[in-house]
Structure 1
Amino acid sequence: MTNEPVVDANFNDELLARLYDPLDPDRSDLEIYTQLITAIDAHKILDLGCGTGTFACILAGAGFEVTGVDPAGASLVVAREKPEAARVHWVHGTVHDLPTGDFDAAVMTANVAMVFTDDAQWQNTLQRIALALKPGGTLIFETRRPEVRAWEQWTEQLTRETTVVAGQGAVTTWVQVLGYDNELLRFRETFRFEDETEMISESTLRYRNREHIEATLDAAGFEVREVLDAPDRPGRQLIFVAQRRMNG
């Protein structure tokens, strides 16, 4: 299997990529990342799976030296248009396209850590992140807790929302689960526009448990320093803080 995740349509189609921010404007989930990065006195930050660049630009505006990496070219088009974007080094690619030993910290926000569905794919990604970090560098990412089974609420009836988007008018979205098996959740997001046309994006996320994640971090050369409850989603999301071993 390839070591690269599949890029979903909602990130790699420019129309859908431009909907990402207006459809999800509340990014209070990012505040904990800023706090953790500030606490470790990091300067050079890798934002892996940066998407439309919201967090990379927040960090750049706060004075950090930021590299934003994503395989979805359409998302990077949106990212490069944002305030502070000129202060970010954008890379259309993956962690494999980065220099070694260059970063003080790396982050994977939102669902990024869950798109690596294959075990070898995930392990290889962690190893490459370790190489990109300086010895003692910090990796911060989050995952959804599988025992919560939040996807059971992902029905059209419960997720259907309509948002007025500048330049597009009313956009109605909903999510439907296609299946859950062997820790893999497959789901479809539908986007319906005012002219009744629809676009669909299908995704797969891997719901690894805490013990599995900690074991893979150890195998990749990291020491787990903290596992936190996401403050904006208590009981539903875990945030891992791991440090590359000095002799790794």
Structure 2
Amino acid sequence: MPDAIFAEPKLAEIYDLLDHPDRPDLAPYLAIADEFHAHSVIDLGCGTGMLACRLAALGKEVVGIDPAVASLKVAKRKAYADRVRWITGTAAQLKELHADLITMTGNVAQVFVTDEAWMATLRACHEALRPKGRLVFEVRDPTREAWKGWNREQSFQVIEAPGIGTVESWVELMNVQLPLVSFRHTFVFRKDGSVMTSASTLRFRTQSEIAETLSRAQLTVEAVRDAPDRPGLEFVFITHTKVN
């Protein structure tokens, strides 16, 4: 079940406005697609489709998969969305699909809080990758304790949403029991005074733990890079299927 911030239509409509509109975090993925000459790309956990549509604009064959219908509805209105195959679902929908590159951006790789769900996702990606294909994803470095900044004082913002009006939002840390961290987004819609919340839990795996799970899924770590938009805060894993 996706979090309300992605699944509730009213929140999905404003999601893109809550982050940097130009999404500098996606630039490395566009570069990686070119670096490895990936013609076909699957964006797993594509959300509102920002990366999928940008890849389609570059002439890539793109599939966007996400469990949140509301987010996909927003995605389908974007430029180049008609060039993307949109699928409602999870990694289970990777069956019968094949790609040169599979991506998981943002917090997608951390929403799999159980070992079973994470391993099932990695194995599904392995099966869907073409020979010499790559799985690329990012995770937050747990040693940097990003959650310490998840409070109203540091996260409060006000946005203007077309057709919706002024919206206040902030994040509050709810619980830290590593490797799990839970937090809550709050949204106040000034136009009608309504308040909506969205609770989330992420799993913070160490670099070595991730490498070990990748190995079990028959994926080889080719490189671990820094995230250019968040230097020193994240790991960007580039992996490929093991060659027997």
Compute the TM-score of the two structures, normalised by the length of structure 1: 0.95
The 8 Å contact of residues 94 and 125 in structure 2, kept in 1 or not, is answered as no
Note the residue ranges of structure 2 that are not aligned, 5 or more in a row.
none
Runs (4+) off by over 3 Å: none
In the alignment, which of 229, 233, 240 is matched to residue 230 of structure 2? Answer: 233
Shift of 1:164: 1.0
Matched, 1:53 2:60: no
Cross-structure match for 2:207: 210
Instruction: Say which is worse superposed, 152-161 or 210-219, in terms of deviation.
Output: 152-161
Shift of 1:98: 2.6
**Residue identity matched to 1:190:** T
Shift of 1:169: 1.2
**Residue identity matched to 1:216:** T
In the alignment, which of 180, 193, 203 is matched to residue 196 of structure 1? Answer: 193
Q: How many residues align?
A: 242
Cross-structure match for 1:112: 108
Supply the distance in 2 between the matched residues of 1:221 and 1:180 (Cα, whole angstroms). Answer: 31
Shift of 1:108: 0.2
**Residue identity matched to 2:109:** A
Supply the distance in 2 between the matched residues of 1:126 and 1:242 (Cα, whole angstroms). Answer: 11
Matched, 1:74 2:70: yes
For the residue of structure 2 that corresponds to 1:20, the secondary structure is helix
Matched, 1:11 2:11: no
The 8 Å contact of residues 100 and 133 in structure 1, kept in 2 or not, is answered as no
Supply the distance in 1 between the matched residues of 2:163 and 2:23 (Cα, whole angstroms). Answer: 22
In the alignment, which of 71, 83, 86 is matched to residue 87 of structure 1? Answer: 83
Supply the distance in 2 between the matched residues of 1:71 and 1:53 (Cα, whole angstroms). Answer: 12
**Residue identity matched to 2:107:** N
Deviations 1:112-162 (A, max 9, x none): 000000011101110001011113210000000111011111111111111
For the residue of structure 2 that corresponds to 1:77, the secondary structure is helix
- Aligned-pair RMSD on alpha carbons? 1.0
Deviations 1:39-70 (A, max 9, x none): 10110100000000000000000000000000
Cross-structure match for 1:245: 242
Cross-structure match for 2:152: 156
Note the residue ranges of structure 1 that are not aligned, 5 or more in a row.
1-5
Instruction: Say which is worse superposed, 204-213 or 193-202, in terms of deviation.
Output: 193-202
Matched, 1:147 2:143: yes
Compute the TM-score of the two structures, normalised by the length of structure 2: 0.97
Deviations 1:164-185 (A, max 9, x none): 1111111000000001103101
Identity rate, percent: 44
Supply the distance in 2 between the matched residues of 1:193 and 1:135 (Cα, whole angstroms). Answer: 49
Supply the distance in 2 between the matched residues of 1:245 and 1:101 (Cα, whole angstroms). Answer: 19
The 8 Å contact of residues 95 and 124 in structure 2, kept in 1 or not, is answered as no
